[in-house]
Structure 1
Amino acid sequence: MLRVFSVAYWAFIGITCVVFFAGAVVVWLVTLPFDRRRVVLHLYSSAWASFYVYVNPLWRLRISGRDRLPWHGAAVLVANHASLVDILVLFALFRPFKWVSKQEIFKVPLIGWNMRLNDYVPLVRGSGASVRRMMEHCDRLLAAGSPVMIFPEGRRTTDGSLQPFKNGSFELAVRHQVPLIPVAVHGTRAALPRHGLILRDHINARVQVLPPLNPADFPDVDALRDAARQSIADALAGD
């Protein structure tokens, strides 16, 4: 039964993405002259992505701490990464930010095209040149007042445990002296296997925005990184 439902659900996403992308192009064209940070387009994209969470009868989502995220001003957001579903539920935060995502996603028709319209940040894992371009892109976004969202583990966990964090997002927060905001994502790993698209049984996902960390309160990048990882680990410990 789940196999049949999964096929129908992904087909529904594929069909409706055409309509949503057409709407995104209209929003982009209309707002381009006055919305340089593309906030309106991102909020439209947030509605597009979270729509697929709320229409799925197998999924329930709760969000806490959303008021800790800025409407205005730069910040670096870091979240744990356990499933493709993480992206959908983090969009449901409905706050302006720019994604850092692997470049392969930008090549996906409609979804990837929308990511480019939003000025999200592509990254090729394992490529030093791509990492440098990513950091430069994030520098420009933060300087313009746009928060960025990064998965500091670099890839999805294979066993559910929190992986080591890479330094890039924390270097950005220190260099720009902007808040570093940890975000704990609960329950999404149960929604999908790491390989494959057959949905699993009911899940109760939760996105928990944790207290911001001020880079000025830490002696170096490593200390900030470790504090953010510990914050997320403590939040996940009750799962």
Structure 2
Amino acid sequence: MLFTIFIYLYAATLVIGSLVPLQKAKRQFKLPNNHLYNEEIFHIPSKVSQKVIKRTGTTVHVNGKEKLLDEPVLYVANHQGLFDILAFLGHLGKPVGFVAKKEINKLPIIRKWMELLYCVFIDRNDRRQSMKAINQGIENLKAGHSLVIFPEGTRSRGSILNEFKSGSLRLATKANVPIIPVSIDGTYKMLEEGNGRIQASEIKMTINDPIYPDDYKDLKSGELASLIQRTIEKSLGLEQEESMKVEMIEIS
């Protein structure tokens, strides 16, 4: 437990230390045609995320970076744990915002950085507010700012995926941007597996082939969600595990 407290204190110190660059970033954010977004505004959240993950003793391996695009995209990922967001911020290598639950918007300093990253906050208990947030996310994508969505809606707290909700994919289909499925494995071991105790892990992120608008234009929303979920399950090795289980049952 002392290690967990230390990590939280360390993270809080880094966040408080970002106040000065936050003020500079806010000024840059207000400028027209701001070209410092990629370099300066995203730099601090990325470095803070890297430092926190490293301090836990966790290593991060990213495969498929060559599949990243130099254009706005919707990253669709499974959601194992709280550290998924830090893994994306620190190790994807591209500026991203998030579709996040409204509770995160209550965190001082952090919420301001998230606003600068063009994050949107959803209240799942308020349908009207949720639609407004999704529409804002669509506009952010059209304006050139990539977003990350976790379509399971909540943390799986393990390697098995919950069903992907198709409604969140309207972000891509309405903005007409590519979708990049990303699998994350190992983050749940950092916090959720230990019932709130932080521990070291090994995170593996796999960036899969982009799905372009021409590829998904004829798919129904449910079909698209299933396609992305199968892609992520395959990169996690879950399809192979399920196939082996079926074979074992047939043999027995």
Instruction: Give your verdict on TM over 0.5.
Output: yes
Q: Would the aligned equivalents of 1:153 and 1:166 in 2 still touch at CA under 8 Å?
A: yes
Note the C-alpha offset of 1:216.
2.2
Structure 1 stretches (4+) deviating beyond 6 angstroms?
Answer: none
Residue 166 of structure 1 corresponds to: 165
**Which of 20, 23, 43 lines up with 2:21 in the alignment?**
23
Residue 205 of structure 1 corresponds to: 203
* RMSD (Å) for aligned C-alpha atoms: 2.1
Q: Render the CA deviation track for 1:172-217: whole Å, top value 9, x for unaligned.
A: 22223211100000111111126853113x3111111111112322
- TM, length-normalised to structure 2: 0.85
Flag the 1:8–1:43 CA change in 2: closer, same or farther, 3 A: same
- TM, length-normalised to structure 1: 0.89
Describe the SS at the equivalent of 2:86.
Answer: helix
Count of aligned pairs between the two proteins? 234
**Quick check: which one's helix share is greater?**
2
Describe the SS at the equivalent of 1:149.
Answer: strand
Q: Measure, in 2, the Cα distance between the counterparts of 1:22 and 1:168.
A: 38
Q: Measure, in 1, the Cα distance between the counterparts of 2:22 and 2:212.
A: 35
Flag the 1:79–1:18 CA change in 2: closer, same or farther, 3 A: same
Q: Measure, in 1, the Cα distance between the counterparts of 2:209 and 2:3.
A: 38
Flag the 1:116–1:167 CA change in 2: closer, same or farther, 3 A: same
AA aligned to 2:65 is R
Task: Map residues 104-115 of structure 1 onto 2, 5 A cutoff.
Answer: 104-115=103-114
Larger radius of gyration: 2
- Which segments of 5 or more consecutive residues in structure 2 lack a partner in the other structure? 242-252
Note the C-alpha offset of 1:4.
1.5
Describe the SS at the equivalent of 1:14.
Answer: helix
Describe the SS at the equivalent of 1:184.
Answer: strand
Q: Measure, in 1, the Cα distance between the counterparts of 2:201 and 2:178.
A: 31
Task: Map residues 82-121 of structure 1 onto 2, 5 A cutoff.
Answer: 82-91=80-89, 92-121=91-120
Describe the SS at the equivalent of 2:231.
Answer: helix
Note the C-alpha offset of 1:143.
1.4
Residue 132 of structure 2 corresponds to: 133
Describe the SS at the equivalent of 2:18.
Answer: helix
Report percent identity of matched pairs.
24
Residue 68 of structure 1 corresponds to: 67
AA aligned to 2:189 is A
Residue 79 of structure 1 corresponds to: 77
- Which segments of 5 or more consecutive residues in structure 1 lack a partner in the other structure? none
Q: Measure, in 2, the Cα distance between the counterparts of 1:108 and 1:148.
A: 20
Q: Would the aligned equivalents of 2:153 and 2:165 in 1 still touch at CA under 8 Å?
A: yes
Is 1:225 the equivalent of 2:212? no
Q: Render the CA deviation track for 1:56-91: whole Å, top value 9, x for unaligned.
A: 32x1111111232223x2211111001101111111
Q: Measure, in 1, the Cα distance between the counterparts of 2:79 and 2:8.
A: 21
